[in-house]
Amino acid sequence: MWSTNPQVRLGGHGGKEGSRVGSRSVRPGWSVVVCAYTFERLELTSACIRAVVAQPEQPEVIVVTDHNDELGAVLRSRFPGVTVVPNSQRRGLGGARNSGVAAASAALVAFVDDDAEPSSAWLAGLAAGFRDPRVVAVGGDAEPVWEGSSPAWFPDEYLWVVGCSYRGMARDGSVRNPLGCNMAFRRDVLVAVGGFDQMLGRIGNVPFGLEETELCVRLIKADSSARIVMVPQAAVRHHVPPGRQRPGYFLQRCFYEGVGKAQLRDLASSAALSSERSYALRVLPVAVLREVAGAIRLDRPVARLFKAAAIVGGLGAAATGYAWGRLRTPQLAERLQARGEHAIVPSDD
């Protein structure tokens, strides 16, 4: 069962405590949290906010700026009807999301990346997943929108590198965790387990993110009857800038994914990596064989061989990151012992 202890604490050393939410009556409906951190994506962020505001459900819209007061001022002037708040916790996506949850007043809280645009039926699709009272979190699809043409070498199995739905991913039914760019939670459940771990989230352009995976593992550990599901009708379009279309970023992101999975193993258990094992042992070998076979048939042979090389290289980078992360086990153990020093989302009580 869910713990409602107001002393639920997560995170590590060096974080800021979030402000107490305070007692409140949670209203039905939706709060949508958009986390922003840079002027470089101002127009994309604005397009995202407009798409959220246009949802038929008329959600409460909360924009969290990650330690960028100037950006907050600009967004307030552009969108006077939107709540713009600063990240009151540690810099990074985990703290920003928690600040959004603290400001939210609706029973359901959705998160969308500031460079993604939800479809008009986005919230309706997410709401369908919550019809089952056991469901505590719902996710949807993310379609890549490449700036320019999509790289010929980029395998569909690795679209998670750019935060999008990928080949081999479950698009419907129960999953371990949704994509971070398109997900929703019951707010009371988020508060009960303490919210996102602010030590795990992406900071700026550093391609490291684990907080939604760790949170979902923690949700199921708190209540084994809870469900996390995907609904294909809740879709967003996720923009992919040129900087994330380069092989260097691809390998760097795969490396940090491996580091993150090493941390997940310590924060949860080796069983939490079952999805990754299935992906590495089943999805990726089939993908390599498909591309090599296509090259032998002379069906775009150069592109297919580059794709096969990217699949193998990405797996190698992730494995290297995982090994490096495992070598840091003593530091991670210290971090685990430090959990409980900094509240993330304080209880409403």
Which pLDDT does position 330 carry in this prediction?
Answer: 52
Summarize pLDDT for 262-284 with one digit per residue, the tens. 888 876 666 678 888 899 999 99
Specify the pairing of strand 27-36 against strand 106-113: parallel
Does the pLDDT of residue 203 top 90, yes or no? Answer: no
| Range of lowest pLDDT (142-151, 208-217, 265-274) | 265-274
pTM for this predicted structure: 0.86
Summarize pLDDT for 301-333 with one digit per residue, the tens. 999 999 999 999 999 999 999 999 888 755 544
Which pLDDT does position 3 carry in this prediction?
Answer: 39
210 confidence band (pLDDT: 50, 70, 90)? confident
Does the pLDDT of residue 217 top 60, yes or no? Answer: yes
Q: What is the greatest pairwise CA distance in the chain?
A: 66
Q: In what order do the strands lie in the sheet with 116-118?
A: 116-118, 236-240, 142-146
Which is nearest to 115 in space by CA: 185, 51, 29?
51
Summarize pLDDT for 83-132 with one digit per residue, the tens. 999 999 989 899 999 999 999 999 999 999 999 999 999 999 999 999 99
Burial 169-205 (b: 16+ CB within 10 A, else e): beeeeebebbbbbbbbbbbbbbbbbbbbbbbbbbbee
User: How far is it, in rounded angstroms, from Cα 209 to Cα 311?
Assistant: 20
Rounded to the nearest integer, the mean pLDDT of the chain is 86
Instruction: Give percent of the chain above pLDDT 70.
Output: 83
Which pLDDT does position 11 carry in this prediction?
Answer: 34
Instruction: Give percent of the chain above pLDDT 90.
Output: 72
Does the pLDDT of residue 7 top 70, yes or no? Answer: no
- 59 in Cβ contact with 29 (< 8 Å): yes
Which pLDDT does position 150 carry in this prediction?
Answer: 93
More confident call, 335 vs 193: 193
In the chain, where does DSSP find H-type helix? 42-53, 69-78, 93-103, 122-129, 187-193, 211-222, 247-267, 274-278, 284-296, 301-327, 329-338
94, two tokens: 């985990």
User: How far is it, in rounded angstroms, from Cα 287 to Cα 77?
Assistant: 48
Which pLDDT does position 305 carry in this prediction?
Answer: 98
